[in-house]
Structures are given as structure tokens and as C-alpha cells.
Amino acid sequence: MKDEQGILFILSGPSGVGKGTVRKQLFEEDSELQYSISVTTRNPREGEQDGVDYFFKSRDQFEDMIEQNELIEYAEYVGNYYGTPKKYVEDTLKAGKDVFLEIEVQGALKVRDTFPHGVFIFLFPPSLDELKNRIINRGTESEELIRNRLLEAKKEIEMMDAYDYVVVNDEIDNAVRRIQSIVVSEHCKRERVYQQYKKALGSELL
């Protein structure tokens, strides 16, 4: 059963929900997953290595990649590009290794176009009450601003519709355990293993 392809897992969710923290702890505990290395035009910080932390590219190189359709998704923050390289993800999956992508909600929806069989995980705040309290208690904000933030939150939750799983981030340990369970359980999905068994059955067993 070792000719199996890796699975692409995409972790996303509203900003501030704790995606980065959850992803970091997940990778401290799990060495089987391969974190998807992003491409960026920003300068390497001290200690950062090309091909480990990021693929570092010039602005021209990055824009070439956009034109050549070599990025699954990309965005620009504070004057620098960040993107997910298609070839790296495809090669890692083909080598039978799972790839883990942590990404904003908008980017995640674009990944779905290229990898419809990816497993999309939506990280969610502990409760709607808490989400509401967080939004309301952010400071001395106008009622209109609060109203807009609530509407924004509503929109983000509506996006859950495009996801396979919803993981509540009540405690980081719990959220990590749930994501680990999703990884294990996705590898047991019948449609992922059935063809392999059937093939083996035809050739070996009878």
C-alpha cells in the first residue's frame, strides 16, 4: 500500500483565531507532515534559509512565476509578495508525503481550485459568544464599527461551507489533537485505499 500519494491539508480560519500557534505546535509534535514552504520577495531574516523557511525570490522572478501559473495562490502584504509554489506541493505529494498549508481564508478558496481533493480545515474560535465578546470588548469602538466586525465574522463563518472540517480552538492542545486525528482518519478513508486494495487483490490474491 506504499504507492499511495500524500494528502494536502489546508488549515485556515478567521484572522486572530490562532492558526499560526496551532500549526507550530502541530509541527513540533508531528514529523510526518511536510510544511508547505512559501515563496516570498521579502529579504531573509537572520537565520532563515532558502528552501527551508522560504523560497526567496526577486520581484521579477516572483512575477514570472505568477505569469507562468506556477503559484497555487499568492498575495501582497506590506509591499512584499507571498505565494504557494505549485510544483513543490505536487512533488511532495507525489513522493507520498502529506503537505500542510496554513493560509488565509481567501487564499484557501483559491487552493481548492487547484487541489479539489485537498482536506480543508477551518479553525474556529471557542464559541460564538466568545467571538462576540472579543469583537465587542476590543476597545472603545463605535457601535457601527462593532456592527461591521460582527458582519465580517458572519461572512467568515459562512465560508466554512467550503471546508471539510471545523476544528474549535478552545485549547491549543485540543485543536492540535483534533487536527492530528483528521490526518490519521483521512488516510483511512475508504475511497483513498479501496482502489489500491482492489488492484492488489486482482494481481496478488487470485
Could you tell me the smallest distance in angstroms from the CB atom of residue 24 to a copy of itself? 20
Q: How far apart are the two ends of the chain, measured CA to CA in Å?
A: 17
Interface mask (CB under 8 A) for a copy of itself, residues 63-102, using x and -? ----------------------------------------
Q: Which residues of 77-100 are buried (b: 16+ CB within 10 A; e: fewer)?
A: eeeebbbbbbebbbebbeeeebbb
Our finding on whether 5 is near a copy of itself (CB under 8 A) is no
| Residue 19, marked binder | yes
Under a CB-based contact definition with an 8 Å cutoff, are residues 89 and 36 in contact?
yes
Question: How many residues belong to the chain?
Answer: 206
Give CA–CA dist 172/183, Å, rounded. 17
Interface mask (CB under 8 A) for a copy of itself, residues 127-166, using x and -? xxx-xx-----------------xx-xx--x--xx-xxxx
Give how far Cα 120 sits from Cα of 38, 54, 63, 138, Å: 18, 23, 27, 29
Which phi and psi (to 5°) does residue 159 adopt?
A: -70, -20
| Residue 85, marked binder | no
Our finding on whether 122 is near a copy of itself (CB under 8 A) is yes
| Identity of the residue, 1 or 78, whose beta carbon is nearer to a copy of itself in the bound complex | 1
| Residue 14, marked binder | yes
Our finding on whether 200 is near a copy of itself (CB under 8 A) is yes
User: Could you list the residues that contact a copy of itself (CB under 8 A)?
Assistant: 1, 121-122, 124, 127-129, 131-132, 150-151, 153-154, 157, 160-161, 163-168, 177-178, 180-186, 188-190, 193-194, 197-198, 200-201, 204-206
Binding residues: 13-20
